[in-house]
Structure formats: C-alpha cells, structure tokens
Amino acid sequence: MTTFMETPVTSGVATERARSWLLVPATKPETFSAAIASDVDAVILDIEDAVSPSAKPAAREAVVAWLEAGNSAWVRINDATTSFWADDLAALSGLKGLAGVMLAKTESGNQVDASAARLAEGTRILALVESAVGLEATPEIARADSTFRLAFGSGDFRRDTGMSDEPLAMAYPRSRLVVSSRAARLPGPIDGPTLAANESILARDSALTLSMGMTGKLCMHAEQAPIVNRELAPAPSDVTWADEVIDALGIDGSGVKDGSDLPRLAKALKIRDAAEVFGIEAG
C-alpha cells in the first residue's frame, strides 16, 4: 500500500477532509495565487478540459514554473488514452509543490497505477470518474494502491450516458462512488460542480451532495467555496445536538441504555469530529 506524502492545502483543512475543490484554468497563471488565497480548501490547476490541444504545452509550462517558484496546488492532467498524458506526468514528476494529481476520465485501476508509476512515490491521485465505463469500474479504481480519493465528473458523465442532472437520475452514480469509496476505506468522494451562479441553487446542490454521503464538491469559481464549505460542514445547531447527546451518553458510551443509543452516539461523535476539523462551534 502506498504511503502518501503530507501535502498542504489552502485552508489548512487536511486533504482527506477538503470540501471545496476549485478548478483553475492553467491558461490563466495570473489567477493561480489569488485562487490559493481564497476560501477554498484545495486548488486544482487544470491542464485538461480547460485547455485546447494547441495550448496545452504552454499551459503545462506555466503550471510547472509556478510550482517550481515555491507554490503548491493539485493539477488535473489529461487522461491516460491521450498523447498528452505522458508529457503531463513527465513534467510534473518530482516537483516539490505538486500536492497531487487529478487523473481525468479514469476508467480502470490500471490507469491509476500507470500514472503513479511515472510520478514520485507517494504522490496522491484523485481518480475523476466521468463515463459509464469508469463508473462500472469504480470498485477496481477505488482499490488501486495509489487512489487517494474518487471524484465525479458529472457533466461529462451526463454527456456520455444521456442522463439528466435531476437528483433521481444522478442518485445511482453518486451512490456507487460513495459505496466504492467506503468499501475501499477511502475518504468520501468529491461531487461534480454546480454551473449555475445562483447561490440558493448552489446551496441546494451542496446539501444534496452531503445527503448522498459525498464529502467534497468541485467548484468553478472561488466565490462558490464559502457556500460549499458551509453546507458540507455541521451547522452550529448540529453541534449543539451532538454535545447534548455525548453529555448524556458519555463519550465512552457509559450512559448507553438501549440499542438506539449507540447509533445516536456514533452520529454525535462524527459531528463533533467534523466540527473540530472545520472550526464549527455550538450555537
């Protein structure tokens, strides 16, 4: 099993618990530092979908130069079936500022392992699932030694399958990512982005993300991060409830009286843990 390197994130939240993941086009290096300074938990410099084929070499060079200057971020690379994949990995391998790699359009565990073999040992890989083939291979992808976390490329997945973005239509792919992650003992998966600029729609979508068992969400703009972070963390009222349950039942379960108490205590302890990670106080 791979031992992952410690990697910094922008907000100080451990990468395993990072909620908001901002995709930044690699064609705009002037925005990289501002993205790092925003409220997002993690930044991904995108040299895949956000960059046309002719612009990829220059975008890759801009990312490498920025990382070599002492900065740190994740990088979304091109998928393993393209001619750009090997060039991306060769350029990024060994860079101290590389927080990890997001592998686009992952469709097998072998693609994850092949990517890891071209990177420095311990480099974290986010496997982005964007197709029907990838979704059906999620148990294998999740169990690959170098897979750190799964992510859902919901837009490309809908284009591949013809499915709508309605919650019911997307329930199966989200559930499959969640179950595969849990079975492989990975952190919760990262949901796809919300494209609408409306804050209430983003809050609704983020609440759905949480209800499905996903613990992160891709963002297209830094302004989305505060809402995503809020919705994917316990509310102050949740923390109050958790504290009351733990006080009544004991942190060690010494006050448990019947079978229904244990699930409540487990939920309360989970909420308290998340509150401590994200700095949420009872209210």
**Where do the H-state alpha helices sit in 93-151?**
109-117, 132-136, 138-143
- pLDDT exceeds cutoff 70 at 9: no
Q: Are residues 66 and 82 in the same domain?
A: yes
Q: Are residues 72 and 153 in the same domain?
A: yes
For 108-132, how does the pLDDT look when each residue is reduced to its tens digit (9 = 90+)?
Answer: 999 999 999 999 999 999 999 999 9
Kindly provide the b/e burial profile for residues 214-231, where b requires at least 16 CB atoms within 10 angstroms of the residue's own CB: bbbbbbebbebbebbbeb
Q: Are residues 175 and 117 in the same domain?
A: yes
Share of the chain above pLDDT 70, in %: 96
Q: Are residues 71 and 208 in the same domain?
A: yes
Tokens 């316990």 locate to 234
pLDDT of residue 12: 83
Beta strands in 85-221 (DSSP E): 98-103, 125-129, 147-152, 190-191, 216-219
SS3 content of the chain, % helix, strand, coil (to 5): 50, 15, 40
Judge whether 70 lies within some domain.
yes
Domain of 55: which CATH number?
3.20.20.60
pLDDT of residue 5: 39
Judge whether 9 lies within some domain.
no
Q: Are residues 101 and 218 in the same domain?
A: yes
How many other β-carbons are positioned within 10 Å of the β-carbon of residue 123? 24
CA proximity to 74, closest of 218, 271, 232, 283: 218
Q: Are residues 212 and 78 in the same domain?
A: yes
pLDDT of residue 274: 94
11 pLDDT band, cuts 50/70/90, is low
> Average pLDDT of the chain?
94
Judge whether 242 lies within some domain.
yes
Q: Are residues 113 and 214 in the same domain?
A: yes
pLDDT of residue 8: 41
pLDDT of residue 10: 58
Judge whether 6 lies within some domain.
no
For 20-32, how does the pLDDT look when each residue is reduced to its tens digit (9 = 90+)?
Answer: 999 999 999 999 9
For 218-229, how does the pLDDT look when each residue is reduced to its tens digit (9 = 90+)?
Answer: 999 999 999 999
**If you average pLDDT over residues 135-141, what whole number do you get?**
98
Q: Are residues 210 and 166 in the same domain?
A: yes
What is the crossing angle of helices 236-249 and 261-278, to 10°?
130
Number of domains in the chain: 2
Judge whether 56 lies within some domain.
yes
96 class by beta-carbon count within 10 Å (0-12 exposed, 13-18 middle, 19+ buried): exposed
Judge whether 140 lies within some domain.
yes
Q: Are residues 179 and 246 in the same domain?
A: no
- pLDDT exceeds cutoff 50 at 273: yes
3-class state of residue 68 by DSSP: helix
- pLDDT exceeds cutoff 60 at 2: no
* Six token digits for residue 241: 């409830």
Judge whether 91 lies within some domain.
yes
Domain that holds residue 270: 236-278
pLDDT of residue 152: 98
- pLDDT exceeds cutoff 90 at 283: no
Q: Are residues 65 and 169 in the same domain?
A: yes
pTM for the predicted model, two decimal places:
0.93
Q: Are residues 165 and 263 in the same domain?
A: no
For 163-199, how does the pLDDT look when each residue is reduced to its tens digit (9 = 90+)?
Answer: 999 999 999 999 999 999 999 999 999 999 999 889 9
pLDDT of residue 197: 82
Judge whether 273 lies within some domain.
yes
CB distance 56 to 47 below 8 Å: yes
Q: Are residues 219 and 250 in the same domain?
A: no
**If you average pLDDT over residues 51-73, what whole number do you get?**
97
